Structure 1
């Protein structure tokens, strides 16, 4: 019932703008008559953030994030005539470091931050999970001899928020980005990373592109957009290289662009595929390919060796985790058991582990690191000379008590 209400609300409120982007209102459950004053909480969070900015690089990345939001139209200043608004909701934000790119910070809006035991996410309908199954996308990616992967540039931000809803997405920053200067009030014009409804709204908008514009393309192009995306990642494969170039790539780029979605960072196990794409659409792998170097790219959390066309698990466990939190970051299989033991012993998230626990983890790490030596062919038909009539997939799992 909730999902049906969400869908009815979004369908009735969705409109396509002149620039092609979709505008979808915030799916509010019910706006409270009296909105708690969230601005003091966000001011306090901003001051806490200020103390972290002793690291100049940390500050530079946050500042560039805000600049990008404003320059690309994903956010705007609150008009002076609208600054006083008792119905406005202020949202803090925080940085999340990429597990494999330690120098990169992704800034997330904390829509779960509570004021008077109420958060913005409490007021939003999350919406149904209309994303494709990860397993299905990955298995289809393994079917064709030639493969290509790409992603949508800042997918959530391509879906706009109506002006009437933007004051629910206010945030604070310093004037001109200078710490210590006056605090200015800004607001999102796009759906933010961190709102509980953003994933469903972005997925709905992508599928709406097919509904509104798919008839202009071959049916197979629409099917790719509907079935081969996992969130913002597109994975396509085909036995026909020309089909992959013309139908699966260029036409899919055109269809996605009808909704303001920009496909970029293309990778492929075929140099010919990459050469037939606009250069600004390709990742830097094309340059390394030309130089005959093997290129390894991240694809759905796995390492894809483009030259060898093999998939492997990337594990970088060089040091023994010192805390329960660090162990969670590298958890797999037997590591679950080790983590559960720490829970049973009520070890705090950031407490230093005992020598006994470290010893058990060290033994486990030596076995886990052997995964680095294991890889599989990306294509299930690689090495076959006859026509493949059927493919079976056998999956084994283990239950940990």
Structure 2
């Protein structure tokens, strides 16, 4: 159960942070914390190991210290004397070269077992999913003429944990190995804890429930994926209203939005606009949108491919490389179905994970990997609907072969002048079952896939005058 209480922080904390959601959230506990064993010495041992690693990398040590100091200065953790009982979380750094803001993030290992064999994560429920799935959000993102993207700054760390439970997330730290080890209590929702995603997204859901504007409430409820905001509309004025309204509601809970990007930057250049987001990026030609590459200036989707061919080709490497082809909407389905088919053949051959594949499959994989480089030149228009449509049709197609079956969804839109625009919205593929099946039966499987995909699309899109055809 979540306990939500209104909270006013001490003045010194408010002055240091100014960006908290002043609410207390209890962890979703499925077992009592009494089952946790001693963890101080485990965290101490991991700290010694971390110090040896940082000693060999001065630049990493500097970044690590800066992160820890920021954590303390913002009031997100507090130094305390050693309590009678507490759960100590080991921690380590994760370097994210692709990140535009924090290159290094300290992650707290709540899955580390205590002396009793039970970890902090073991006694927590994960919590239900309270946001729309990635697929639905990206579908809506492709229906709008004008779109914006942003994310919540330090989302987890904006949410305070109930003080009675903060003894369950303690850490050890010292700037220098010659200094005395200090104990810090983490005051906010913490990276690495099982309930963190639910606790943070549940706060957004609460904001939507308290919002008086039903339209804005729907945007907060349906257009966030964890901390990423992705929304849009067909009017520049309406888009600016969305930016201001959502920003205002989230600011009221001290959840600042940053890294704004849009394909309509002119809305932030108007003289009458005095509330331009401070982190609006007009210069970026490339943005990441829920894992997809988006070029806001040209309003196109692109794909990056990193397929090294210098490794031995085994079932393990084929699975690893094919998993890097991130394509949630199925826009690359004609390509991504190939490694699925190869993997199915590998399972049939009963090779071990690290056994070399036979020559025929090796040739098939190398040909696929070599041709995959051309995907970097592929550019797909983001928007799938014509400007000012009077009619929008959804068309679903399916087909099958002995190896696989697939479904694709197209949107056909018509404006008042009779101009027609047809664009691929999404697609989905599946390999044929190992048990032999006739082509008519596989085509029925494709038709079923089309029906289910169409139902998913119709539920996700916010469209009027939508006709369907299969």
State the TM bucket, normalised to the shorter chain: 0.7 to 0.9
d(CA) in 1 for partners of 2:245, 2:35: 49
Distance 1:388 1:265, change over 3 A: farther
Say which of 226, 230, 234 aligns to 1:239. Answer: 234
Partner of 2:30: 29
Q: When the two structures are superposed, what TM-score results if normalisation uses the length of structure 2? A: 0.71
Partner of 1:5: none
Say which of 347, 367, 374 aligns to 1:363. Answer: 367
Shift of 1:157: 1.1
Partner of 2:84: 85
Shift of 1:319: 5.6
Question: Structure 2 unaligned runs (5+)?
Answer: 9-19, 326-335, 397-408, 410-426, 434-470
- My pick for the range that moved more, 194-203 or 52-61, is 52-61
Tell me the secondary structure at the aligned position of residue 127 of structure 2.
coil
CA RMSD of aligned residues (A): 3.0
d(CA) in 1 for partners of 2:107, 2:63: 13
What CA deviation, in whole Å up to 9, does each residue of 1:186-221 have, x standing for no partner? 111001011010111111111111223x02xx3211
d(CA) in 2 for partners of 1:308, 1:376: 10
Question: Structure 1 unaligned runs (5+)?
Answer: 1-8, 289-293
Distance 1:362 1:260, change over 3 A: same
Show the 5 A alignment for 1:284-295: 285-286=281-282, 288=283, 295=285
Tell me the secondary structure at the aligned position of residue 367 of structure 2.
helix
Partner of 2:223: 228
Tell me the secondary structure at the aligned position of residue 380 of structure 1.
coil
Shift of 1:31: 1.7
Are the aligned partners of 1:320 and 1:358 in contact in 2 as well (CA < 8 Å)?
Answer: no
Shift of 1:71: 1.4
Partner of 2:193: 195
Show the 5 A alignment for 1:230-309: 230-246=225-241, 248-275=242-269, 276=273, 278-279=275-276, 281-283=278-280, 285-286=281-282, 288=283, 295-309=285-299
The answer to whether the aligner puts 1:67 opposite 2:51 as a matched pair is no
Q: When the two structures are superposed, what TM-score results if normalisation uses the length of structure 1? A: 0.83
Shift of 1:305: 0.6
Tell me the secondary structure at the aligned position of residue 32 of structure 2.
coil
Structure of higher CA gyration radius: 2
Greater RCO (Cα-Cα under 8 Å, separation 6 or more): 1
Show the 5 A alignment for 1:147-166: 147-166=147-166
Are the aligned partners of 1:210 and 1:222 in contact in 2 as well (CA < 8 Å)?
Answer: yes
Tell me the secondary structure at the aligned position of residue 34 of structure 2.
coil
Shift of 1:354: 8.8
Shift of 1:388: 3.8
Shift of 1:128: 0.7
d(CA) in 1 for partners of 2:393, 2:111: 47
Distance 1:360 1:181, change over 3 A: farther
d(CA) in 1 for partners of 2:216, 2:227: 17
Distance 1:69 1:312, change over 3 A: same
Partner of 1:389: 392
- My pick for the range that moved more, 160-169 or 105-114, is 105-114
The structure whose residues are more often strand, as a share, is 2
Distance 1:20 1:184, change over 3 A: closer
d(CA) in 1 for partners of 2:7, 2:372: 50
Aligned pair count reads 370
d(CA) in 1 for partners of 2:340, 2:274: 43
Shift of 1:372: 1.3
What CA deviation, in whole Å up to 9, does each residue of 1:216-248 have, x standing for no partner? xx32111110111111111111111101102x1
Distance 1:274 1:378, change over 3 A: farther
Partner of 1:145: 145
Partner of 2:183: 185
d(CA) in 2 for partners of 1:339, 1:50: 42
